[in-house]
Structure 1
Amino acid sequence: MTTDFPSFEIPGRVALVTGAARGLGRAIALTLANAGADVALGLRDVHADAGLAEQIEALGRRALPLQMDVTDPGQVRAAVDATAEHFGRLDILVNNAGIAPGNPAEDVTEADFDATLAVNLKGTFFASQAAGRVMIRQGYGRIVNVGSQAGAVALPGESVYCMTKAAIAHLTRCLAVEWGPHGVTVNAVAPTFVHTPGTADHLADPARRADVVERIAALHRIGEPMEVAGAVLFLVSPAASLITGEVMLIDGGWTAR
C-alpha cells in the first residue's frame, strides 16, 4: 500500500486542448499550465488565440497554437502529430470543442444536424483516436471529454445537442475499457450552464436565466469556467489514477432534484 499523498500537480506533462480560444477551453488550458503542463492550443483559427499563448508563457510553461478545425480529420491528425513532435510526447487531450445550435426538434435542419455531429461527435472521436495512438505507444495518457448535463437530462430545443452529449458519455466508457490496458484513462466532465460566450445569448433572456438558476437546485447560480477546469485538472492528475470511464457531473445539483 502506497503512503504517498494524492498529487494534483502535473509538472512536465504535455496537454492538447481543443476549442481553446475562449470559454471553457481557455480556462482549462490556463489551469493545466498553472499546474505545470506545456499546452498545445487547438484552434479553429490559429490566429485567434487572443493572447492565450502569452498568458501560458507568463506562467512559465510552453504554448503551441495549432490550426485544428475538429471537423477536418486531416487537421486533427496534423495537430496531434505536431504536438507530439514539438514537445516530444502527448500526455493529455481535452476534447472541449463543441457547438449547440438550438431549435425545436420539428424545426431542426439537416445542416444544423450535420454540423453539430461533425464538431461534437466526429471531432471528439477522431481527436481521441489520433491522440490515443500516441498515448498507446507511450504506455500513458489522459483523455477528458467535455460533455454536458444535457447528456443526462432533456433540454427543450436542444435535442441534437443533447443526443451528441449522451453519445460522448458512452464513447467515454467505450474508450476507457479499450485503452485502459495501455495505461490510458478516459473520462468526461458534464457541466451545467456556465458563463461563457456560448451561453451568453441564452442567459441574457431574464426568463430563461431565472429558469436555469432555479433548476440548479442546490446552489442556484450559474457556473464559472474555472469550476469546470478544476474538475478537468483533477481527472488528469495523479490523484485520479484509478478513475476511468466516468462522467463527472458539474451541475450544482441540477440532476439531484
Structure 2
Amino acid sequence: MRVALLTGASRGIGRETALALAARGLALFLVAEGTEAELDGAVADCRAGGAPDAARAVFDLADPAAPEAMVQAALSRFGRVDVLVNNAGIRCRKPFGTFTRAEFDGLIGVNFAAAFFASQAVLPAMRAQGGGRIIHVASQTGRVAMEENSLYGPMKAALIQLTRNMAFELAKDGIQVNSVSPGPIATQFNIDSYGRIPGRVEQLEGRLPVGRLGRPAEIAEAIAFLATCEGGFIQGHDLVVDGGYTIV
C-alpha cells in the first residue's frame, strides 16, 4: 500500500488532490490547520473514492516544530510515506514598501520553510524504502512579476529552485522531486480575492489563451500524475499549469 502525506488538504487544490490520489488507490494522511470538520469530510470522501485507508491531523505549519512532527505522525500511523505533497501556503498581497517583518517571517515559514523541513524529515524513511516522490506546489507567480506580489512570488520562486536542488541531490536515492506551478485557479479563496477588485476576473480571463480560470481538479490531476506515473525520468521539473498565462 502506497501512502501519500498531503498538506493544505482540507479545501481547494489540496482537497481535490487528495481525491485524485484516492482514486489512484493511495492511502492518505491529510494535514491542515484548524479545520477538523473539513478534514473529517475529506477523509470520508477519500475512503469513498478508493483510498484503502485515510487519516488526518491538524498542524499549524507556521510552528517551526510542526513539519517534523507531521511527518512522524504519518509514519506512526502508516509506517511509511511514499509521496509527500507540500501544498500548504498562505498569501500576503501588498505594495512593496509596506510589508512588516512579521508578515515576511510568516510567509517564509509556511510557504518555504515548512516544505523544506518536511522534505528533510521524510528523507530517512524514503531512503529506507528505496525511494519516494516529493512534490512542491509552487505558482506561476514564481516565474512572472505581478502587482503586490513582491513577497509571495519570490517565496514560490525559491520553492521552484529548491525542487531543482533537491532533485539533483536525491535522484541517486530513487527519490523524484518535482513541482507544480498553478496559474489563476477558481478556488474559493481566489474568487473572494479577485472579487475585491472590480473586473479582475474578466481581466485574467482575457489574458488567458484558454479564456477561463483553471479548476482545482486540473491542478490535482497534474500533482497526481507526478505522484503516480510510471518511470523515474521526470526529475527536477516544474510543471506549469496556467492555461497559457506565462506564454503570452
Conserved? CA contact 2:10–2:35, under 8 Å: no
Q: CA deviation at 1:50?
A: 5.1
Unmatched 5+ stretches in structure 1: 1-11
What is the CA–CA distance in structure 2 between the aligned matches of 1:245 and 1:137, rounded to whole Å?
21
Q: CA deviation at 1:85?
A: 2.4
Q: CA deviation at 1:55?
A: 0.7
- 1:58 is aligned to 48
Q: 2:153 aligned with 1:162, yes or no?
A: yes
Same amino acid, percent of matched pairs: 40
- 1:5 is aligned to none
- 1:18 is aligned to 7
What is the CA–CA distance in structure 1 between the aligned matches of 2:7 and 2:74, rounded to whole Å?
12
Q: 2:200 aligned with 1:203, yes or no?
A: no
What is the CA–CA distance in structure 1 between the aligned matches of 2:77 and 2:64, rounded to whole Å?
20
Report which stretch shifted further, 40-49 or 132-141.
40-49
Alignment of 1:1-150 (within 5 A): 12-45=1-34, 47-48=36-37, 49=39, 51-61=41-51, 62-150=53-141
**C-alpha distance 154-50 of structure 1, shift in aligned 2 (>3 A):** farther
What is the CA–CA distance in structure 2 between the aligned matches of 1:133 and 1:156, rounded to whole Å?
40
Q: CA RMSD in A?
A: 1.4
Q: CA deviation at 1:240?
A: 5.2
TM-score (norm 1): 0.91
CA offset digits 1:199-224 (Å, max 9, x no partner):
122322342112211222x2011000
What is the CA–CA distance in structure 1 between the aligned matches of 2:50 and 2:211, rounded to whole Å?
37
CA offset digits 1:173-206 (Å, max 9, x no partner):
0100111100101000000011113212232234
**SS of 1:71's equivalent?**
coil
Q: CA deviation at 1:108?
A: 1.5
- 1:7 is aligned to none
- 2:144 is aligned to 153
Conserved? CA contact 2:24–2:50, under 8 Å: no
Unmatched 5+ stretches in structure 2: none
Q: CA deviation at 1:46?
A: 5.8
CA offset digits 1:231-254 (Å, max 9, x no partner):
111111133521010001001111
Q: CA deviation at 1:71?
A: 2.0
What is the CA–CA distance in structure 1 between the aligned matches of 2:211 and 2:133, rounded to whole Å?
32
**SS of 1:107's equivalent?**
coil
Q: 2:220 aligned with 1:229, yes or no?
A: yes
Conserved? CA contact 2:180–2:239, under 8 Å: yes
**SS of 2:70's equivalent?**
helix
What is the CA–CA distance in structure 1 between the aligned matches of 2:217 and 2:48, rounded to whole Å?
18
Conserved? CA contact 2:31–2:59, under 8 Å: yes
What is the CA–CA distance in structure 2 between the aligned matches of 1:73 and 1:91, rounded to whole Å?
23
**C-alpha distance 68-240 of structure 1, shift in aligned 2 (>3 A):** farther
